[in-house]
């Protein structure tokens, strides 16, 4: 165990290095206005008011950085409470306050995203073309979803060939003496050597033909129509009614829900039937359980393969190399750690893939779902795994075989002993991670790698320069870990709190800066993740209360236990209360508000052409920009929806046999 | 432990006595058509088809007796499965089949109750008069709820005085020589002696005046208006939209829900605000926890008071009586049991009172809620309490201090040993209880007691002859106990199954008979209890699987454990699946179905006057039949709802200050 001098030294070193990162970031920005970046970042909080921040970066980002502020203020409050005082300002930011801002959430959404969200719904597993008879007078237009996965592949391929063509044409223009050659095989590395420009021109022509055929096929083949549809309404009121009500007596068909914002749609998952969806969720739940508790088994197996003996046995060729002292010590000392680290880096991707299999239909819900999984993994393998040393499946065994009253005791007793470990963890993982984020070290390295090896044309360079975005599914669970550490240690070892406060305050500044100046958000979900954040904070609170209960019961003040049991009960009750009071703000759109907005819009913008506005919103990206052959929006101008629907499909897709 | 001969003898005796009950029931019914009651009861199943049964007795009753049929068939299937065979007919009645009948549920509801339920919604915590601007064109009429509790008391008192007046008038007519006298005190037992007829006539006149004043007060005092309203719609579609959507951005005001059927409304709970509702639920949850696990402590205390020494100490007067041998042995042997029995008889009433405090607004939901509580109590104190002997709080301690993996083992091992106990329990509690039900022993005794001591007039006699109704909150949890016993013992000790089957088959016949010929249901809820029944059956299934798991793990076939764990996981998944697929049939009214019904009704009954039909439905019982001064339904004929609302209230209630 490290002494307090060690920790102090480490803290000073870490703070200095983080500061050095910031200075390194400040130097390259030579514009006069940005000269004092550090000062600017600190003062930014007062410079950009929140409504402007929401307009600029979206509600998701604005709410996201509020989590950091909430964390910092919560912990400052904890410290001050420990010093028997009180504070007014931070109380305004306490847990119960933030969700009540929900009407403001709706009020300040960036207008585009908001209008799509207000007016459109997504209907899943609808058999055939839409027959929402009872709502038809309210509907502005309907858009069926096509399975355009093959088409998207072809378009992608054509784009890549176009890119190569541009590259060779530029090369030829610069040096007209040499006709550029290429090989017909993979990435031009092998195969027959041909004239590059001619080859790619021919290939693109061929792809054009294929694409036209595929496009025709998608539009005319009834099997290419996915049982899902985006429906836009004439008024917010109509959309709100349809999204909140059940249409058919079988709730698994005509599943109506608010459409995600157009950029937020995850097109691949729009066609999964209800039963399959349930089976997928069951399988993924089992897989996630195994992953969380038994991931160490395959890792240990790979690590054993990567040992000296393992490599010698499998690859005798490498034996002379391995016998070298340097290589040997590297393999023995670093390789197992690297294998584990690689797994942990891949983990969010694995979890995201699992969420995709579960069939969520928007990127935001995929992010939320992955965050839930990652949070549980961190809770078990980082928090509990560090306190009760041993692999997760050993913990699991312990949980099953130990009395429930013993577990909080075991864990509670171990907590004070692990304070120094977590201080180091906060500095290495938290502080250093944030410093790397402000410098954008990883993207920087990736950009230079790509620039050197992959970039051929300006278009490529543009793509390589990805400004990035908030990675909610990874960073939010990490915040929750710090919340949990703050709550657990606020009573036991309050010296941990300043370290977490520095993390939160630092993160707040850095992410605020990134959101304003760097990031380019992929979608806008209206802070739909907030109920998850709220729930996980309360889960952390309950865990900390149970552990405190366990710790106290060992300190022979067991008499206070019955009183202490009231704490988690009240916390859970508070959660249920908040769910009933505030959650609907995130999943429903009150009819009253919808009506008021409709009326306001009609008064202020009587000439707004909603149809033109919404026409292209929910078209598969692969159809965007292609004027001909784009799926026709089925609109309400033909009065009888069923006949009109059939007719319009017939005329545009020359297909009349299919019974609707 | 009883030997198998003992059990056989007991079974034969019990069956014979149950048969004797039936014969005793058959003899008094002397009408020729009912002569062979036993035969009639057996053949009734084929005589009354289900739709007719639903028309006659309501959907609640029809579904309720299907639980018994389901139980019997399930267990027959278990037995036959144990005999390695298969059966087709009973499979049709398996768990997954019944809820899928949901559209039929709606289709067959008795038409009156159904129309009220289809067209009306209840709005709770609405501040002031209704402002559902966005739905106003769909609304047929609105009815505010008045706090008429005082008025109801006065009306009740007047009714009682009327009754006395009739009694004395009849007495005087029969014997005109003696002018009947009464005393002015409580029940005419003490106080000044006056002429009875004159006294009651004067009192009734006085009460009439008071009632008029109170009625005026209720109608004009703004504080007498409860923040709740019943709203009826012109079409089912409008009602379905309003009931399923959120009206205001604050979900705790304008809480819209389907109105219970008029008879089903529990008027006292219509005015509880959201926060208070949550606090009440928390308090009742804590109280119920204490009641379930620690009820033995006050019982034991009372029992100790009722011991010889206790009585001698408290009431020395009784000492000579207690010294008698007969009294002494009675007190020692029977009194503690009687005290426990009295508590158990009072328990359903205690649980119902707790549910009322929780603030549910319909009798059916109160019944469902009480059933949930009673089921948990039986599970802990009868099922587990009989297997792990010891008081519930000792069990609780054991659950907390024993490893989770040990509990199924402990319980599982004890299960086979308790088979004979449960056989006796089934015969005493189940068989005898049903036999008493067919004879209606308890109501018979009550009727004769009332007839002797209380009945004065024909009206009194009519009230004392209560045909009774299904007591869902008590009998359903008992069925669940038998289900659980059947599931647990189907693998361990299948000899128990025939006893349970006899219970189910017997109950099915008896309750079917009672529903058709005797009971008078108090309300009709559209089988809204079915999801609870389904959930509790699956809870029983999971419990039986866990106990089997525990039992098997002790039999050194622990290798099968991981496979067995899949069973409860799959069961829980099945529950979640069913919830998603079928539950909405009980809480929502699909817009498509609503629209179809509306259209049908308009086609078949174009002249139906809905307003006249619904006018009196949701009036507080105390206002029913009183033509003057009844609360005015606020209807939509005045075009501007807000102004009209104010005006109509002003004119009828002479109150214009209150801001709406």
Q: Is B65 exposed, middle or buried (0-12, 13-18, 19+ CB in 10 A)?
A: buried
The string of pLDDT tens digits covering residues B123-170 is 776 665 455 545 666 777 777 777 777 888 888 888 888 888 888 888
Cβ distance A580 to B278 less than 8 Å, yes or no, reads: yes
Between these two residues, A541 and B446, which has the higher pLDDT value?
A541
The reported pLDDT for the residue numbered A43 is 53
Q: Closest-CA residue in chain B for A566?
A: B286
Query: In angstroms, rounded to a whole number, what is the distance separating the alpha carbons of residues B600 and A406?
Result: 65
Cβ distance B404 to A404 less than 8 Å, yes or no, reads: yes
Q: To the nearest whole percent, how much of chain B has pLDDT over 90?
A: 11
Query: In angstroms, rounded to a whole number, what is the distance separating the alpha carbons of residues B136 and B294?
Result: 52
Q: Work out the angle between the directed axes of helices A472-492 and A496-517 (0-180°, nearest 10).
A: 160
Cβ distance A245 to B240 less than 8 Å, yes or no, reads: yes
Given a contact cutoff of 8 angstroms between Cβ atoms, the answer to whether A548 and A561 are in contact is: no
The reported pLDDT for the residue numbered B532 is 92
Q: Closest-CA residue in chain A for B104?
A: A249
The reported pLDDT for the residue numbered B97 is 38
- Whether the pLDDT of residue B303 is over 80: the answer is no
Q: Which residues of B touch A569 (CB under 8 A)?
A: 282, 286
Return the exposure string of B263-275: e unless at least 16 CB atoms fall within 10 Å of the residue's CB, then b. bbbbbebbbbebe
The string of pLDDT tens digits covering residues B166-218 is 888 888 888 888 777 777 766 666 777 888 888 888 888 998 898 888 888 88
3-state SS class at B272:
coil
In a 13 Å sphere around the CA of A154, the CA atoms on its Cβ side amount to 20
DSSP label at residue A234: S
Given a contact cutoff of 8 angstroms between Cβ atoms, the answer to whether A256 and A123 are in contact is: yes
Cβ distance B400 to A404 less than 8 Å, yes or no, reads: yes
**Residue A82: which pLDDT band, with cuts at 50, 70 and 90?**
low
Instruction: Suggest the residue from B278, B396, B561, B590 to mutate for an interface test with chain A (most A CBs closer than 10 A).
Output: B590
The reported pLDDT for the residue numbered B357 is 94
Which ipTM did the prediction report?
0.75
The reported pLDDT for the residue numbered B280 is 93
Q: Which residues of A touch B401 (CB under 8 A)?
A: 403-406
The string of pLDDT tens digits covering residues A474-485 is 889 988 999 899
Cβ distance A251 to B405 less than 8 Å, yes or no, reads: no
The winner for highest mean pLDDT among A219-233, A399-413, A532-546, B489-503 is A532-546
**Residue A350: which pLDDT band, with cuts at 50, 70 and 90?**
very high
* Of the candidates A404, A398, A409, the residue with the CA atom closest to the CA atom of residue A548: A409
Between these two residues, A154 and A329, which has the higher pLDDT value?
A154
Q: From the CA of B658, how many Å to the nearest CA of chain A?
A: 23
The reported pLDDT for the residue numbered A33 is 42
- What is chain A's mean pLDDT, rounded? 76
Q: What mean pLDDT do residues B471-487 have?
A: 90
Q: From the CA of A237, how many Å to the nearest CA of chain B?
A: 8
Query: In angstroms, rounded to a whole number, what is the distance separating the alpha carbons of residues A532 and B186?
Result: 62
Q: What mean pLDDT do residues B400-426 have?
A: 83
Query: In angstroms, rounded to a whole number, what is the distance separating the alpha carbons of residues A595 and A138?
Result: 13
The reported pLDDT for the residue numbered A368 is 94
The reported pLDDT for the residue numbered A283 is 94
Given a contact cutoff of 8 angstroms between Cβ atoms, the answer to whether B619 and B269 are in contact is: no
The reported pLDDT for the residue numbered A376 is 94
The reported pLDDT for the residue numbered B575 is 92
3-state SS class at B28:
coil
Q: Closest-CA residue in chain A for B401?
A: A403
Q: Closest-CA residue in chain A for B276?
A: A577
Q: From the CA of B568, how many Å to the nearest CA of chain A?
A: 13
Sheet hosting strand B634-635, strand order edge to edge: B255-258, B120-124, B225-233, B139-146, B634-635
Q: Which residues of B touch A577 (CB under 8 A)?
A: 275, 278
Structure tokens at A80: 């001050």
**Facing B585 at nearest CB: one of A249, A254, A589:** A249
Q: What mean pLDDT do residues A312-336 have?
A: 75
Given a contact cutoff of 8 angstroms between Cβ atoms, the answer to whether A618 and A143 are in contact is: yes
- Whether the pLDDT of residue A77 is over 50: the answer is yes
Cβ distance B278 to A252 less than 8 Å, yes or no, reads: no
Query: In angstroms, rounded to a whole number, what is the distance separating the alpha carbons of residues A360 and A270?
Result: 8
Cβ distance A102 to B249 less than 8 Å, yes or no, reads: yes
- Whether the pLDDT of residue B374 is over 90: the answer is yes
**Residue B625: which pLDDT band, with cuts at 50, 70 and 90?**
low
3-state SS class at A624:
coil
The string of pLDDT tens digits covering residues A127-153 is 654 555 456 667 777 777 877 778 888
- Cα torsion B32, B35, B41, B44 to 10°: value is -30
**Residue B391: which pLDDT band, with cuts at 50, 70 and 90?**
low
Cβ distance B245 to A247 less than 8 Å, yes or no, reads: no
Tell me whether strands B120-124 and B255-258 are parallel, antiparallel or unpaired. Answer: antiparallel
Beta strands in B380-432 (DSSP E): none
The string of pLDDT tens digits covering residues A250-309 is 777 778 888 888 888 888 888 788 888 889 999 999 999 999 988 888 888 877 776 677
Range name among A191-205, A440-454, B604-618, B623-637 with the lowest pLDDT average? B623-637
**Facing A248 at nearest CB: one of B254, B582, B590:** B590
Q: Which residues of B touch A593 (CB under 8 A)?
A: 249
Between these two residues, B125 and A565, which has the higher pLDDT value?
A565
Q: From the CA of A580, how many Å to the nearest CA of chain B?
A: 8
- What is chain B's mean pLDDT, rounded? 76
* Of the candidates B105, B45, B159, the residue with the CA atom closest to the CA atom of residue B511: B45
**Facing B400 at nearest CB: one of A135, A237, A403:** A403
Q: Closest-CA residue in chain A for B235?
A: A134
Q: What mean pLDDT do residues A551-570 have?
A: 76
The reported pLDDT for the residue numbered B522 is 83
The string of pLDDT tens digits covering residues B435-444 is 777 777 777 7
Between these two residues, B131 and A515, which has the higher pLDDT value?
A515
**Residue B634: which pLDDT band, with cuts at 50, 70 and 90?**
very low
**Facing A249 at nearest CB: one of B134, B577, B593:** B593
**Facing A246 at nearest CB: one of B134, B254, B591:** B591
pTM listed for this prediction: 0.80
- Residue A421's CB is within 10 A of a number of other CB atoms, namely 13
Tell me whether strands B181-183 and A225-233 are parallel, antiparallel or unpaired. Answer: unpaired
Cβ distance B237 to A134 less than 8 Å, yes or no, reads: yes
- Count, residues in chain B: 660
**Residue A36: which pLDDT band, with cuts at 50, 70 and 90?**
very low
Q: Closest-CA residue in chain B for A243?
A: B245
Measuring CA to CA, how many Å separate A224 from each of A145, A259, B28? 9, 21, 73
What region does A281 belong to: left with phi over 0, alpha with psi -120 to 50, or beta?
alpha
**Facing B249 at nearest CB: one of A103, A249, A400:** A103
Given a contact cutoff of 8 angstroms between Cβ atoms, the answer to whether A540 and A476 are in contact is: no
**Facing A247 at nearest CB: one of B278, B404, B591:** B591
Q: Which residues of A touch B403 (CB under 8 A)?
A: 400-403
Q: Closest-CA residue in chain B for A597?
A: B134
Given a contact cutoff of 8 angstroms between Cβ atoms, the answer to whether B590 and A249 are in contact is: yes
- Whether the pLDDT of residue A215 is over 50: the answer is yes
Measuring CA to CA, how many Å separate B468 from each of B334, B446, B548, B599? 30, 12, 40, 39
Instruction: Suggest the residue from B249, B558, B594 to mutate for an interface test with chain A (most A CBs closer than 10 A).
Output: B249
Q: Closest-CA residue in chain A for B599?
A: A134
Instruction: Suggest the residue from A123, A130, A240, A246 to mutate for an interface test with chain B (most B CBs closer than 10 A).
Output: A246
- Residue B122's CB is within 10 A of a number of other CB atoms, namely 22
Q: Which residues of B touch A531 (CB under 8 A)?
A: none
Q: From the CA of A134, how many Å to the nearest CA of chain B?
A: 6
Range name among A50-54, A107-111, A467-471, B321-325 with the lowest pLDDT average? A107-111
Q: Which residues of A touch B136 (CB under 8 A)?
A: none
* Of the candidates B506, B626, B660, B571, the residue with the CA atom closest to the CA atom of residue B219: B626
Cβ distance A580 to B252 less than 8 Å, yes or no, reads: yes
The string of pLDDT tens digits covering residues B31-41 is 444 444 445 55
The reported pLDDT for the residue numbered B354 is 95
Between these two residues, A327 and B114, which has the higher pLDDT value?
A327
The reported pLDDT for the residue numbered B351 is 95
- Whether the pLDDT of residue A35 is over 60: the answer is no
Give the sign of the dihedral formed by CA A596, CA A600, CA A601, CA A606: positive
Q: Closest-CA residue in chain B for A252?
A: B581
**Facing B595 at nearest CB: one of A102, A133, A591:** A133
Q: From the CA of B524, how many Å to the nearest CA of chain A?
A: 21
């Amino acid at each position: 165990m490290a002494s307090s001098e060690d920790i102090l030294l480490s803290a000073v070193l870490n703070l200095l290095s983080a500061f050095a990162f910031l200075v390194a970031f400040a130097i390259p920005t030579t514009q006069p206005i940005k000269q004092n970046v550090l000062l600017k970042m600190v003062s930014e909080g007062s410079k950009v008011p929140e409504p402007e921040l929401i307009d600029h970066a979206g509600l998701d980002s604005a709410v996201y950085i509020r989590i950091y502020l909430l964390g910092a203020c919560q912990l400052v409050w904890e410290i001050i409470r420990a010093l028997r005082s009180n504070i007014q300002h931070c109380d305004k930011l306490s847990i119960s306050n933030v969700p009540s801002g929900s009407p403001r959430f709706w009020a300040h959404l960036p207008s585009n995203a908001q209008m799509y969200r207000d007016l459109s719904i997504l209907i899943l597993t609808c058999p055939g073309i839409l027959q929402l008879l009872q709502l038809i007078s309210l509907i502005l237009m309907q858009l069926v979803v096509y399975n355009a996965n093959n088409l998207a592949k072809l378009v992608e391929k054509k784009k890549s060939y176009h890119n190569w063509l541009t590259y060779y044409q530029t090369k030829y223009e610069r040096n007209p003496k040499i006709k550029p050659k290429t090989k017909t095989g993979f990435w031009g590395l092998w195969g027959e050597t041909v004239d590059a420009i001619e080859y790619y021109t021919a290939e693109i022509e061929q792809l054009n033909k294929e694409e036209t055929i595929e496009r025709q096929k998608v539009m005319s083949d009834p099997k290419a129509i996915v049982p899902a549809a985006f429906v836009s309404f004439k008024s917010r009121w109509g959309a709100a009614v349809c999204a909140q009500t059940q249409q058919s007596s079988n709730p698994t068909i005509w599943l109506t829900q608010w459409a995600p914002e157009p950029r937020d749609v995850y097109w691949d998952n729009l066609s999964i039937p209800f039963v399959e969806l349930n089976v997928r969720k069951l399988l993924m739940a089992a897989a996630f359980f195994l992953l969380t508790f038994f991931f160490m088994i395959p890792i240990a197996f790979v690590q054993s393969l990567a040992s000296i003996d393992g490599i010698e046995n499998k690859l005798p060729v490498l034996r002379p190399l391995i016998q070298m002292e340097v290589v040997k010590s590297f393999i023995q000392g670093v390789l197992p750690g690297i294998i584990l680290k690689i797994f942990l880096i891949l983990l969010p991707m694995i979890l995201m893939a699992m969420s995709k299999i579960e069939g969520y239909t928007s990127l935001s819900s995929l992010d939320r779902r992955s965050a839930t999984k990652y949070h549980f993994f961190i809770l078990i393998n980082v928090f509990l795994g560090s306190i009760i040393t041993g692999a997760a499946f050993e913990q699991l065994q312990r949980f099953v075989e130990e009395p429930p009253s013993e577990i909080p005791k075991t864990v509670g007793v171990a907590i004070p002993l692990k304070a120094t470990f977590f201080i180091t963890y906060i500095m290495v993982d938290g502080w250093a991670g944030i410093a790397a984020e402000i410098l954008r070290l990883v993207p920087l390295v990736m950009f230079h790698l790509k620039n050197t090896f992959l970039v051929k044309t300006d278009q490529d360079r543009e793509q390589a320069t990805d400004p990035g975005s908030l990675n909610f599914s990874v960073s939010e669970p990490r915040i929750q870990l710090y919340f949990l550490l703050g709550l657990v240690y606020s009573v036991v070892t309050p010296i941990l709190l300043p370290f977490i406060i520095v993390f939160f305050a630092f993160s707040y500044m850095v992410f605020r800066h990134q959101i304003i100046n760097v990031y380019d958000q992929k979608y806008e979900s209206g802070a739909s993740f907030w109920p998850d954040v709220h729930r996980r904070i309360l889960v952390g609170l309950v865990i900390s209360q149970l552990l405190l209960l366990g710790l106290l019961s060992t300190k022979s003040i067991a008499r206070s236990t019955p009183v202490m049991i009231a704490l988690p009960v009240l916390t859970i009750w508070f959660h249920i209360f908040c769910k009933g009071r505030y959650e609907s703000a995130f999943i429903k759109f009150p009819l009253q508000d919808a009506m008021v907005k409709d009326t306001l819009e009609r008064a202020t913008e009587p000439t707004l052409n909603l149809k033109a506005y919404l026409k292209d919103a929910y078209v598969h990206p692969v159809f965007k920009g292609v004027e001909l052959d784009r799926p026709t929006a089925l609109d309400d101008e033909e009065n009888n929806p069923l006949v009109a629907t059939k007719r319009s499909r017939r005329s545009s897709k020359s297909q009349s046999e299919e019974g609707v």
